Each structure stands twice: as structure tokens, then as C-alpha cells.
Structure 1
Amino acid sequence: VSDVVKILADTGLPAGALKLEVTESDVMRDPDRAAVILRSLRQAGAALALDDFGTGFSSLSYLTRLPFDTLKIDRYFVRTMATDEGSAKIVSSVVKLGQDLALEVVAEGVENAGMARQLLSLGCDYGQGFGYAPALSPQEAEVYLNESYVDGAAPVKARG
């Protein structure tokens, strides 16, 4: 927590501009301790994302008791939603759950424009994956983001 406080102070980032991702399995190792640390991070000005949601055995009650801003759907469910009815229902349910709890929802593993359109139709807030861009160096990321802002949206590349 002290490192995050220092980084926010040194950079002058506004509250919520730094988003930290915590995996579901990390939280579930010691939920009570995680709650204390997450609240401290939130009070320090960090935003919080629950990563890999749906892959562990968490209690849904933690979503209301822990101060998350964002819910990230694990890539397995996103990648298989077109071919597996169960995955499609899980993705849809997690998007709805996030909406009901006023959380941003991010789908991981978006590999093409079709997936992006399907997620958008479900009301998913954001997509993340190679369908948008491969892993980029800091310089490449800056160029990518600048180009994305020209038309107001990050491109989704069709993958052959």
C-alpha cells in the first residue's frame, strides 16, 4: 500500500487513474486480509479490478463486500462463448452481474471483431485481447493509443 501511495504522490495521478488487478485466487487465499488491503488501496486512490472472475471458487458475497471497480471475465469463457452454450451463458450472466453491481466489466481474450460485437451486444464495457493488439512496448502502445483517439475508438482487427 505504501508503494502505491508513493507512486500516486510522485506521479500526481488523479484518484482512480491507476487501476490494480487482483486475481480471484489471490483474494480467496485470505479474504479478510485481502479486504483490509483492498480498502487501503482504494482509500489511497487506486481503482481495483477483480481479474479471472469465474475461475475460482469465490463467494459472490465478496463482490459486495470488497471495493472493486471492475470485474474481468476470464478469457476461457470469452474464447469459448461462440461454441459452448455454457460459456456463453456465463459471459452473459457475469456482464449482467457487473451491471447490477455498478462495476465496469472487461472481457479478456477478445480475438476478433465478431467476439467484440457479441460482447458489445451483451453490454460488456470493455474488451481486452489480441483482437485489439498484441503485447506492445511502451512506445508502440503510445502510438496505438494516439491513433485510436483519432476516431474515438480502439480498432478491432479481423484475424484470419
Structure 2
Amino acid sequence: MTAQRQQRNWSGPKPPFRRAIAVITLAALLLPPPGALAATTQRIIANRYSGLAIDGFDPVSYFVDGQALIGDADFEAAQAGVVWRFRNEGNRASFLAHPEVYGPQFGGYDPTDVARGITVPGNPRLFAVVDERLFLFSREESRDAFKADPARYLPRAEARWPALEQELPE
């Protein structure tokens, strides 16, 4: 074989391999780290028609902005079987790095009701951030009672949540 032919045959991977390498590299860059996918194990409330978690509100905005803000369809991420929306790429990246911090506790169900042994979906507009965790509530009275004395509700809610979560429909 001539040197020129050897050069042509050994100049690197063939085009199909180059495409495969490009796809694998792109996937590695776009997918969140493996730990991020497993970090949120709670079943999250999602709109059954759109698949959006917490009605499309940005879960990071509760912490950063101190208010419930709607996310943008340009900044979405699939995590824990639902689609999350964010206001910007920074919020999206923060959530994907730490979904266990930014995601609503008890899957978005009202913690005062979970403490009573029932699951009532929380309203993303009725929220509290307590001990750096997001809680959503079904009623203002529940939110106010919880904020006044979280220690009264959290131990019971945490004890009852595993059994309640198993009973949720898929």
C-alpha cells in the first residue's frame, strides 16, 4: 500500500463514526449528571394535559425572587417524569444540579394535609420556603398554620408521606 493510501485509510474515524462520536458528545453535554436524575424520587404533581410540573412555575424563582413566577417554554427540562419550566438558563442549571433542593417537598402536595394522612394538591401560588425547602399549599389557612409552626406538621408529614406516595395513581 502506498504511503498516500495509508494516510487516507488511517486519517481518523470514518464519517459514520464521527457522527456517532458527535452524538455521544452532544448527549453528554446536554444531559444532566446521572445523580441529578435520581435525586428527585418523589412523585411530582403535573398537569395531566401539558405534563408541566407545578403548572409551569419556575421552582427556582421561589428561592431567588421570593415569589411564584411562570417559567418560559424556551427553558424547559424533563426531570422526575415531568417537564419543568424556568425563567432563564441559570435557574434551569441550578435546578438540574440540585432538584432535591428546588423541587417542592411531598411532590407538591399540601404538607398539612399529608400530615393528616391525605393528599391534596398544592397551589403553586400558595407557597412557603421553610428551612430552604419549598412547600405548596391548597389553602391560605394551611400555609399560615404551617408557617407559624412547621415543627408541628413536618414530622407527621414525613412519617406519612412514603405510604401516601405509594397510593398515588400513576
Q: TM-score, normalised by structure 2?
A: 0.25
Q: TM-score, normalised by structure 1?
A: 0.26
Which protein shows a greater Rg?
A: 2
